[in-house]
Structure 1
């Protein structure tokens, strides 16, 4: 490979310009690509008839993929989305509820009747994790589920 000094003025100009273009392209397109690659998953905690179930109750994620978990509670009672081991096996970017954005470790979300929350996360550790509502009697009545994280290979 020819040393940079031997390229001449036009060669050096072209090399520097190409480098700037490549760096700029990476800086500008990386966030846009990340924003486009998010997968939305909707989960209802109960329903308007008051059933004690998650809809759906079995969730599947791919390790390394970014997700927006949209949780809503259409039921007349409050419910918890409790999945501590899943949360520990994932990187949380944020949780949004109303005009509040929460960052940091998340282990459980309480949704009051009519509430909605968005949890943006990246599952990292493959495995199968328990999901349940931790309100006494709700899990025993069937408000349970599983969350599976598969290897992204």
Structure 2
């Protein structure tokens, strides 16, 4: 029984290592010619001046392997979140820039306060359909949701 436990532990350790190292390998493949591409501008408004709870547009389409600059704006008087965790797990983020601050590394959610803007530069790696929502209590329930599609 003890031998089985050790074998199980070693297998779990090997699988965990493989999963953790997948993203850097994909990112290394991205860093060549893709970073020389001009980023495709994609504007998204979180809410609007009338304080309607919606993303404009609420459907986004990207192609795996292309470089994008998601320009997020919040023209409303309320704070909003751009939350799409599964999508964020399937992309390589080059940077998020807001004001005079640039953030690098894994990003899962961006909060925009009233009047704020941010740019999220990334390369989609994993095709699929992903849900988008604002996680401020009541906002998604009021319709602040969307869908992100990544195709090959």
Q: Same fold (TM over 0.5)?
A: yes
**Structure 1 unpaired stretches of 5+:** 1-30
The alpha carbon displacement at 1:36 in A equals 4.5
Decide whether aligned partners of structure 1 residues 127 and 104 sit closer, same or farther in structure 2, where only a CA change above 3 A counts: same
The two structures have a TM-score, normalised by structure 2, of 0.77
Decide whether aligned partners of structure 1 residues 64 and 112 sit closer, same or farther in structure 2, where only a CA change above 3 A counts: same
Q: Which residue of 2 aligns with 1:3?
A: none
Q: Which residue of 2 aligns with 1:60?
A: 61
The alpha carbon displacement at 1:91 in A equals 0.2
Q: Which residue of 2 aligns with 1:90?
A: 91
Q: Which residue of 2 aligns with 1:104?
A: 105
**Structure 2 unpaired stretches of 5+:** 1-31
Q: Which residue of 1 aligns with 2:38?
A: 37
Alignment check: 8 A CA contact 2:60 2:149 kept? yes
- Structure with max Cα Rg: 1
The two structures have a TM-score, normalised by structure 1, of 0.76
Q: Which residue of 2 aligns with 1:116?
A: 117
Distance in 1 (alpha carbons) for counterparts of 2:112 and 2:54: 14
Q: Which residue of 2 aligns with 1:79?
A: 80
Distance in 2 (alpha carbons) for counterparts of 1:75 and 1:123: 28
